[in-house]
């Protein structure tokens, strides 16, 4: 009876254990505190980029999702994980092998016949081995591989979201820089218009060359900004081409500003639901579950392994008589293997598995906290870029009016050039800042969609972590 109890205890110890629950209520806020749009739909749609109502953006995203090389590599890693899962599953089944052999020996001379017998032998054998998974070692290894497969799939989804976000951001960047270039050229036209008046007055001796030098300096200042903007526009365009899996040569897109881009709205849901909508959090969750399965496997490796073997076949000196019943033979047996001494290898493997699990507990908790912070950051960005955009629109309107009045008064000789220059500089900077704020506004909304998971939802059957009180 004592022996049975001991065996039962060992058997239970070898069984798989539940994944440790590492989220408590204190780590998950009740709600988000950042400004939100209460009338907007909660959580992103799976095709959230369609909300910008830009067909070119939709086409670019579709091309990126089809041809991006990072996404192709992520898909290949999923195939590798599927293959690894299949390899581990094979350990649950018997291994069967077959062998056919033919030998022919001959001899001449009495001395030779004493050692060798002239004969021809033909044989067909079948062998089977099966390691009984008494303690769940094979199942633990399979479970770890299956969780790694889930992790690879979630990682692929994370890459897909990142690629979509980057494609949208680079597209918006190109359009914003083109608008800034257009503003700079408009400013140059205005400067040249004033410069013509100053040049005529200077030739007539009506003004000193001071005004002419000041306006020429203003012209050179704006001209100096063009190469940097052109470089940034090309770099953003080339990055976009790379995201689409294209070479940069000959790649172009239409559009010169962000004015036609709609500003979609989305609102956040509950923080506890966010954990189901972030593929990076799901990936960390799967990694932790895989690590725990490896801990179970490392523990099961200490226990004795039971294997069954069997073989059968035919052997005959004549091929025609090979398959006769009298030539058939078989054998079977069972074996028990227990490690008695390995220099601490099994203990080291178990300690390694436990250490990896502890690391991935911290990684999962960090991923959840990062998700909450990411959403709060995005909510603040969206709200504040909207506010700043509205202020800049009013600033541009006022600066444009001031510059127009200054130009008129200067032509009439009612004001000094310095006043016109200040008004012109204020307008140029305000328009340039507004173009940058339009970009920041678009990218803030993209960031919010990304922070909310981009419309992805984890399947309930894939979950291993639940918030505990």
Cβ–Cβ under 8 Å, residues 49 and 57: yes
Neighbours of 238 (CB within 10 A): 16
Alpha carbons 195 and 208: distance in angstroms, whole number: 13
- What does the pLDDT read at residue 451? 97
- What does the pLDDT read at residue 444? 97
- What does the pLDDT read at residue 6? 44
Give CATH for domain 95-132+305-337. Answer: 2.20.200.10
Cβ–Cβ under 8 Å, residues 175 and 258: yes
pTM of the model: 0.88
Alpha carbons 239 and 241: distance in angstroms, whole number: 5
In the chain, CATH 2.20.200.10 sits at 95-132+305-337
Q: What is the pLDDT along the chain (469 residues), one digit of tens a residue?
A: 444 334 444 444 446 899 999 998 889 999 999 998 888 999 999 999 999 999 999 999 999 999 999 999 999 999 999 999 999 999 999 999 888 887 776 666 655 655 555 567 788 888 999 999 999 999 999 999 999 999 999 999 999 999 999 999 999 999 999 999 999 999 999 888 888 888 887 777 767 778 788 888 888 999 999 999 999 999 999 999 999 999 999 999 999 999 999 989 999 999 999 999 999 999 999 999 999 999 999 999 999 999 999 898 877 776 766 677 677 788 888 988 898 888 999 999 999 999 999 999 999 999 999 999 999 999 999 999 999 999 999 999 999 999 999 888 888 877 887 888 889 889 999 999 999 999 999 999 999 999 999 999 999 999 999 987 6
Superfamily of domain 13-92+135-303+345-462: Outer membrane efflux proteins (OEP) (1.20.1600.10)
Cβ–Cβ under 8 Å, residues 289 and 464: yes
Q: For residues 246-282, b (16+ Cβ closer than 10 Å) or e, as one string?
A: eeeeeeebebeebeebebbebbbbebeebbbbbbbbb
For CA atoms 174, 172, 443, 391, the dihedral sign is positive
In the chain, CATH 1.20.1600.10 sits at 13-92+135-303+345-462
- What does the pLDDT read at residue 314? 79
- What does the pLDDT read at residue 254? 94
């Amino acid at each position: 009876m004592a022996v049975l109890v001991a065996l039962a205890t060992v058997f239970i110890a070898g069984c798989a254990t539940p994944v440790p629950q590492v989220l408590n209520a204190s780590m998950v806020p009740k709600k988000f505190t950042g400004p939100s749009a209460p009338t907007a739909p909660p959580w992103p749609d799976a095709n959230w980029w369609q909300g910008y109502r830009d067909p070119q953006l939709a086409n670019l995203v579709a091309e990126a999702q089809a041809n991006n090389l990072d996404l192709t590599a992520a898909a290949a890693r999923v195939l590798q994980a599927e293959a690894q899962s299949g390899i581990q599953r094979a350990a649950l089944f018997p291994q069967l092998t077959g062998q056919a052999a033919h030998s022919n020996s001959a001899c001449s001379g009495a001395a030779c016949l004493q050692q060798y017998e002239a004969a021809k032998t033909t044989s067909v054998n079948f062998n089977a081995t099966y390691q009984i998974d008494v303690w769940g070692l094979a199942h633990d290894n399979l479970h770890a591989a299956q969780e790694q497969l889930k992790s690879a799939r979630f990682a692929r989804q994370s890459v897909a979201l990142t690629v979509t976000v980057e494609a949208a951001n680079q597209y918006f960047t190109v359009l914003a820089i083109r608008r800034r270039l257009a503003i700079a050229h408009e400013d140059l036209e205005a400067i040249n218009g004033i410069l013509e008046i100053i040049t005529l007055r200077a030739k007539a001796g009506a003004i000193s060359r001071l005004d002419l030098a000041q306006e020429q300096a203003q012209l050179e200042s704006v001209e100096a900004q063009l190469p940097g903007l052109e470089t940034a526009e090309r770099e953003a365009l080339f990055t976009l081409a790379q995201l689409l899996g294209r070479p940069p040569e000959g790649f172009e897109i239409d559009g010169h500003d962000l004015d036609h881009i709609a500003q979609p709205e989305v609102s956040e849901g509950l923080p506890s639901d966010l954990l189901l909508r972030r593929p990076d959090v799901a990936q960390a969750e799967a990694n932790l579950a895989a690590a725990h399965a490896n801990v179970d496997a490392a523990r099961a490796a200490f226990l004795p392994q039971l294997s069954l073997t069997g073989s059968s076949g035919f052997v005959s000196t004549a091929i025609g008589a090979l398959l006769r019943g009298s030539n058939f033979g078989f054998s079977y047996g069972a074996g028990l293997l227990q490690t008695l001494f390995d220099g601490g290898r099994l203990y080291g493997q178990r300690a390694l598995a436990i250490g990896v699990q502890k690391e991935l507990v911290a990684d999962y908790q960090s991923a959840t906290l990062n998700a909450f912070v990411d959403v709060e950051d995005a909510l603040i960005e969206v709200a504040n870029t909207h506010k700043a955009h509205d202020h800049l629109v009013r600033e541009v309107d006022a600066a444009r009016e001031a510059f127009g009045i200054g130009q008129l008064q200067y032509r009439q000789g009612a004001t000094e050039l310095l006043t016109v220059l200040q008004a012109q500089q204020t307008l140029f900077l305000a328009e340039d800042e507004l173009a940058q704020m339009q970009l920041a506004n678009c990218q803030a909304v993209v960031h919010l969609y990304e922070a909310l998971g981009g419309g992805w939802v984890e399947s309930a059957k894939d979950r291993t972590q639940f918030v505990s009180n």
